[in-house]
Amino acid sequence: MSQVLILVDSVGGQVSKSTGELATFGSRLGSVTAVVFEPALAAQLNGFSIANVVVVTGVDTSKYSPAPVAEALAQLITSKSATALLVTSSARGKEIAGMVAVISNSGLITDAIDVDADRITTQSVFGGGTTVHSAVTTPTAVITMRSNSIEVVAGSGTPTQEEFAPTISEAAKLAVVNSTEPAVKGGRPELTEASIVVSGGRGTNGDFKPIEALADVLGAAVGASRAATDAGWYPHTHQVGQTGKTVSPQLYVACGISGAIQHRAGMQTSKLIVAVNKDPEAPIFELSDFGVVGDLFNVLPVATAAITAKKA
Amino acid sequence: MKIAVCVKQVPDSWAEKKMSGQVLDRAGVDAVLNDLDEYAVEEALRIVEAHSPTKEAGEGSGHTITLISMGPERATEAIRKALSMGADNAIHISDDALAGSDALATSLVLAKVISTEGFDLVICGTESTDARMSVVPAMLAQRLGWAALTFAGSVIVEPENSKVLIARSTEFGVENMSAAFPVVVSVNEKINEPRYPSFKGIMAAKKKTITAKSLSDLGIAASAVGASAAWSSVKDSLLRPARSSGIKVEDSGDGGNQLAAFLAEKRVI
């Protein structure tokens, strides 16, 4: 049976939700080996479609990032004769994938939203306007998968576990992480992983309170258009769009966002789109499943109260 | 310092893009300098200005900024734009055999130019707005055996110590990283505000040297690059059916309730 590697992502010692998605995709291609660089993560991998866990030892990922991770993965590809390596499509994930592709002479696909048993990937490109199917022609395919692309299928049993000590080159240790300031954690989910995103744009005039109130009652992440982040109304890390993050949640609520093509590029593949905008001609309504023409400062508080009442 | 900035000509990001067979249809849309590369050019200029006795880039600064671009003939337009911002000169790799190259081939060609010319610092944008893979800077560092300091939100260069320090935001927080020359840096779009070329800059750019290089000049076999050498291939592409607009209601006080009712109907809440 083909061997498939997945790179386990974690934040603050907790395995990320995307790991279950990678395992689900990976199990279509073969027997899944999950790769962790922190031993404590291995115990969190029960109940997924994961047959085997490799704990990589001797790599200080907090000091050197991400080149040693790439070298370790490339060596595992060789030792396991893996036909695929699946990594989450984050900035870090793509960077690692690019390095692995160079080291292992493997074809690379980024931002896939699906992969089938024959390693044919599906990507949604040009802002979601076009769907592309691609095949990798090398023995190993390196594929980065976009979060929220699949329902996680639970697996049974406890995976077997082994250790792996890679050889890390001096070149991989040239870039050094001197310090890390932990992300200030709001109570909200991470933007690219959230199942619901509520975003605000120019129409907020800098007041994100109604956006945040709606987000909190929905358990959603908060996004912002480039107009809003450039104006300094919301941090750039929350920007959704061509030059910001690409999100694909179950529900995207665009508030006071006109829907310029650069914004659409970052959210068009959302399953359900709801828009609130004063301008009935705003292009965002062209792709919305439900639109309210009105002032977000009137509509959102009413919606927030109604949702709170329904949930009570 | 010898600084290189990698730049790419791309279809205008405001234009609707579509596929032509297996590749992006580039003929039918306006071509511009990749937006995100403007930040890389600007950052290179700021680094030189900060370490120039004249506080200006160009001759007399003691540093050079060389643009490196791979692309067809018409990519010279994008190169001139970056030159007019203030870069000193450019190397343009153009060869029919390069058409359809994937990121692996692109990084191979750029790495060859960089290692042949020799630089202290290579600066890239985080991604091109057409392919949006954001892997070329990491691939370049890997091929060159150099340090990769990517997705930088701020960059400090200490030429006297041959050292580069960056800060970048990741899922884990803000990472402060550093490395000794030579380094590949990629900068994000929050790092600066790219300048508009001045009239003087535009006039000066016309006289700046763009060195054309072919694959044979670089000693790279045509069979190593281009669509036929790509390790992934597009099987097919289809236009996603346009999202049809759904229900649209006017708010007369009840819009919020209707919104909530819609979400309940779709079982989101």
CATH number for B98: 3.40.50.620
Q: How does pLDDT run across A49-67, given as a tens digit for each residue?
A: 999 999 999 998 888 879 9
d(CA A60, CA A67): 11
Residue B247, in any domain of the structure: no
Identify which of B134, B232, B251 has the shortest CB distance to residue A91: B134
Q: How does pLDDT run across B199-215, given as a tens digit for each residue?
A: 999 999 999 999 999 99
Q: Do B247 and A291 touch (CB under 8 A)?
A: yes
Residue B97, in any domain of the structure: yes
Please tell me which residue of chain B has the smallest CA distance to A14. B172
Give, in order, the Cα–Cα distances in Å from B9 to each of B68, B71, B75, B99, B101: 11, 7, 6, 13, 14
d(CA A23, CA A86): 9
Residue B48, in any domain of the structure: yes
Alpha-carbon distance A155 to nearest alpha carbon in chain B (angstroms): 26
Please give the residue range of the domain that contains residue B11. 2-229
Tell which residue, A173, A129, A151, A143, has the closest CA to residue A6.
A143
Is residue B240 predicted with pLDDT exceeding 90?
A: no
Residue A33 binned pLDDT confidence (cut-offs 50, 70, 90): very high
d(CA A80, CA A96): 18
Residue B112, in any domain of the structure: yes
Sign of the alpha-carbon torsion through B106, B112, B115, B118:
negative
Q: How does pLDDT run across A107-166, given as a tens digit for each residue?
A: 999 999 999 999 999 988 776 678 899 999 999 999 999 988 888 898 887 899 999 999
State ipTM.
Answer: 0.88
Q: What average pLDDT does the segment A33-41 reach?
A: 95
Task: Say what the pTM is.
Answer: 0.83
Identify which of A137, A262, A298 has the shortest CB distance to residue B232: A137
Q: Taking each helix axis from N to C terminus, what angle separates A296-311 and A209-218, rounded to the nearest 10 degrees?
A: 20
d(CA B16, CA B127): 18
pLDDT recorded at residue B262? 93
Tell which residue, B131, B129, B82, B123, has the closest CA to residue B105.
B131
Contact B90/B208 with Cβ under 8 angstroms? Answer: yes
Identify which of A70, A242, A298 has the shortest CB distance to residue B251: A298
Long-range contacts of B204-207 (CB under 8 A, 24+ apart): B204/B83, B204/B84, B205/B80, B205/B81, B205/B83, B205/B84, B206/B80
Which positions in chain B touch A7 (Cβ < 8 Å)? none
Residue B153, in any domain of the structure: yes
Alpha-carbon distance B62 to nearest alpha carbon in chain A (angstroms): 26
pLDDT recorded at residue A133? 93
Residue B120, in any domain of the structure: yes
Alpha-carbon distance B65 to nearest alpha carbon in chain A (angstroms): 23
* Average model confidence (pLDDT) across chain A: 92
Q: Do A175 and B129 touch (CB under 8 A)?
A: no
Residue B244, in any domain of the structure: no
d(CA A158, CA A46): 5
Prior bond to B72 cis, omega within 30?
A: no
pLDDT recorded at residue B242? 66
Q: How does pLDDT run across B4-63, given as a tens digit for each residue?
A: 999 999 887 666 677 777 777 777 778 889 989 999 999 999 999 999 999 999 988 999
Domain count, chain B: 1
Is residue A42 predicted with pLDDT exceeding 80?
A: yes
Is residue A185 predicted with pLDDT exceeding 70?
A: no
Identify which of B142, B151, B238 has the shortest CB distance to residue A91: B151
pLDDT recorded at residue A275? 97
Residue B18, in any domain of the structure: yes
Terminal-residue alpha carbon distance, chain A: 50
Which positions in chain A touch B18 (Cβ < 8 Å)? 126, 129-130
**Cα angle for residues B74, B80, B82 (degrees, 5° grid):** 120
Q: What average pLDDT does the segment A208-217 reach?
A: 96
**% of chain B exceeding 90 in pLDDT:** 70
